[in-house]
Amino acid sequence: MNEKILKLMERGTKILGSKYAIMGGAMTWISESNLTSALSNAGLFGVLASGAMDGNSLREEIIATQQKTGKNFGVNIITMNPKINDLIDVCGERKVSHVILAGGIPEKGTIEKIHSYGSQAMAFAPSQSIAKRLFKQGIDALIIEGSEAGGHVGPLSTMILIQDILLNLNEYPIFVAGGILRGELVAGLLKIGAAGCQLGTVFACCKESIAHENFKKAYFRASGRNAVLPVQLDKKFNIAPVRALENIATEEFVQKQREVLQKFERGEVAANNGRLSLEHFWAGSLRRAVREGDTDRGSLMSGQIVELIKEEKSIQEIIDQILKEAESVLD
């Protein structure tokens, strides 16, 4: 059973050290020790989100995860986190097998630092040229994530990234993310050369997710068209787009953006600090929704795949369905 799909997954499972080449993408405030360990224990590859953590809080979360699973899992580190070096040191100290760098293009030195601890380094690539550069710099695997995904996204859809990056750089291991749920699609992506897939939104509202009940219910009620990107007020002040379910927080973000933009124009805040304060807005707002259940003023980061997610399922149910659907299209 599942032999054909497991065979297709081999390239990815060798890299991840998991049973299935399916990663549970890191989600700030959601991908903590419970969800991460549950994903890895079910044979997937869990990824812990370090968000805005410092070294000490990350150490605690890694230890908690290691107490709940003996399987491999990754740690997601945001490259603009000023504590990035401490965080990598903690991953090294705790012998984390994979560090996944997100939110920017990592520097060569960062990849080397991860390798110096014997861990594998993964990152996101928004274009073919950046993908090539990262592989030249020694990155072990890449994730291409289309704009259908939940959370911070790039401008291009998964479909475009597949054709521009995956199909041209088949010799390298590339995982695909953004808008994936059905097993038939997972099988198709593996067949055309993907090392595996990364899913996020579906695990935000699975049984093992610690997200508040109100948060999960908002997802089950929503349709894909509700998962929108906020308006960008000024092209000169480039903000990272974040896909989330439309609510009061979406409007508050536009207001916050206006305030920061005005401060920037008056020379009261540097562009980078301005952007960082907008990042803090999202992180605080996401916490409000995930932990406190405030679905009006909290951020409901979600991918368009929410269209297909209508009820709370366990990780086991989700993976079983994916494998069954994948097998159905393999001969």
Ligand X SMILES: Cc1cc2nc3c(=O)[nH]c(=O)nc-3n(C[C@H](O)[C@H](O)[C@H](O)COP(=O)(O)O)c2cc1C
Residues that bind ligand X (CB under 6 A): 25-28, 30, 49, 51, 76, 102, 145, 148-151, 177-179, 198-201, 204, 301-303, 305
Least distance CB 77 / ligand X (angstroms): 9
Least distance CB 262 / ligand X (angstroms): 28
**Of 127 and 233, which CB lies nearer to ligand X in the complex structure?**
127
Least distance CB 30 / ligand X (angstroms): 6
**Of 119 and 302, which CB lies nearer to ligand X in the complex structure?**
302
Which position has the token pair 């939104």?
201
Least distance CB 267 / ligand X (angstroms): 31
Per-position b or e across 193-212, b if 16+ CB within 10 A of its CB: bbbbbbbbbbbbbbebbebb
**Of 151 and 183, which CB lies nearer to ligand X in the complex structure?**
151
Q: What are the helix (H) ranges across 124-171?
A: 128-136, 158-161
Least distance CB 9 / ligand X (angstroms): 18
**Of 102 and 111, which CB lies nearer to ligand X in the complex structure?**
102
**Of 179 and 274, which CB lies nearer to ligand X in the complex structure?**
179
Q: Residue 232 — left, alpha, or beta (φ > 0 → left; ψ -120 to 50 → alpha)?
A: beta
Least distance CB 210 / ligand X (angstroms): 12
Least distance CB 176 / ligand X (angstroms): 10
Cα 205 from Cα 101, distance rounded (Å):
24
**Of 21 and 199, which CB lies nearer to ligand X in the complex structure?**
199
Query: Which segments within the chain are labelled E, that is strand?
Result: 22-24, 45-49, 73-78, 98-102, 120-124, 141-145, 151-152, 174-177, 196-199, 227-228, 242-245, 300-301
Q: Is the dihedral of CA 213, 300, 55, 136 positive or negative?
A: positive
**Of 120 and 198, which CB lies nearer to ligand X in the complex structure?**
198
**Of 198 and 295, which CB lies nearer to ligand X in the complex structure?**
198
Residue with nearest beta carbon to ligand X = 200
Least distance CB 201 / ligand X (angstroms): 3
73 contacts 46 by C-beta, under 8 angstroms: yes
227 in helix, strand or coil? strand
CA angle 211, 217, 221 (to 5 degrees): 140
Cα 305 from Cα 95, distance rounded (Å):
34
Please name the helix (run of DSSP H) or strand (run of DSSP E) that holds residue 191, with its range, or none.
helix 183-191
